[in-house]
Amino acid sequence: MVAVLAVVVSQDIFAHTRLKTPTIDENSANHGSNYNDVVIGHGCQNETDGASTIDTVGTVVVFPDGKDSIITTKPAGSASTVEAAIHQGTLADFVTNWASPVTIVQSKDVFEMQKYIKDSLGNKLGFWAGGGKLTAGYRGLIPLTTAGVVINPNSCAKSVTFIVSIADICEITDVGGFSNATVQLWTPAVGSNFDGQGLHGYDSPATLKVNRTIAPLPTSCGAGLDVTIKPSAAQLNRDMKVIVDGNQVWPK
């Protein structure tokens, strides 16, 4: 019985919502992009037996804006127990071309509507897709491309990992109504309204890791740095929204 339970639990972990291709190389091609999908792994959990039997009616995907993002570094290849250091500089210290990280690939395969989430300058920081539903027990592929990322050639970054915040919505509620039955939050715990403390997927966001493959690491860098870019709480509170025709639909 214990072995059976262990198998069920680990399958559930692998079914968390993630990018289909979570690790890519740098890409300096003109208008370079990398095709990818958000993979919605499972629906929401019913309150009777906790199984993921509730259909998903929409998803919200947000990349860090790179302006007030939380930037941390670790020596490349260090153990997960090594504490990350806060970087006091800007994202440009590590990435030279971050502006509009994501482009929607038009598709009605899963949801009927797709709309960008932009900042005040028009940068495309994410998108939502909704209308119709993803049936519980099925996987959903939501196609997108990410902009080609160029790592600052003078930096010591060996890789840069962008934390991608995703909300899979099963029932439209306000923030107070978030539960395992209404939403699956794949977000970093940064103190936003979307942390989902105690809920399935707590502090287990999707990631996009970009490996340095163009300019060689300067020899003065030694082994180099693994850099992580997380969105700020302020950004998530601003951007994790579904707005239809000027009206905020989610959270209510």
Binding residues for Cu ion (CB under 5 A): 12, 16
Residues 63, 126 contacting (CB under 8 angstroms): yes
At closest approach, how far in Å is the CB of 18 from Cu ion?
10
At closest approach, how far in Å is the CB of 80 from Cu ion?
20
Nearer to Cu ion, 45 or 228 (CB): 45
- Report the residue closest to Cu ion, judged by CB: 16
Using alpha carbons, list the distances in angstroms from residue 73 to 13, 42, 94, 118, 221.
26, 32, 10, 27, 13
Nearer to Cu ion, 11 or 90 (CB): 11
Nearest in space to 184 (alpha carbons), one of 5, 39, 8: 39
At closest approach, how far in Å is the CB of 135 from Cu ion?
17
At closest approach, how far in Å is the CB of 163 from Cu ion?
17
Nearer to Cu ion, 16 or 133 (CB): 16
Nearest in space to 124 (alpha carbons), one of 99, 92, 90: 99
Nearer to Cu ion, 53 or 97 (CB): 53
- The DSSP secondary structure of 173-205, one letter per residue, reads --GGG--TTTEEEE---SSSTT--TTSTTTT--
At closest approach, how far in Å is the CB of 218 from Cu ion?
40
Task: Report residue 195 as tokens.
Answer: 């942390």
Nearer to Cu ion, 12 or 37 (CB): 12
Nearer to Cu ion, 70 or 142 (CB): 142
Nearer to Cu ion, 114 or 184 (CB): 184
Query: What does the radius of gyration of the chain's CA atoms come to, in whole angstroms?
Result: 18
At closest approach, how far in Å is the CB of 204 from Cu ion?
8
Local structure of 23: helix, strand or coil: strand
Q: What is the largest CA-CA distance in the chain?
A: 58
Phi and psi of 250, rounded to 5°?
A: -140, 140
At closest approach, how far in Å is the CB of 176 from Cu ion?
23
Nearest in space to 229 (alpha carbons), one of 25, 101, 63: 63
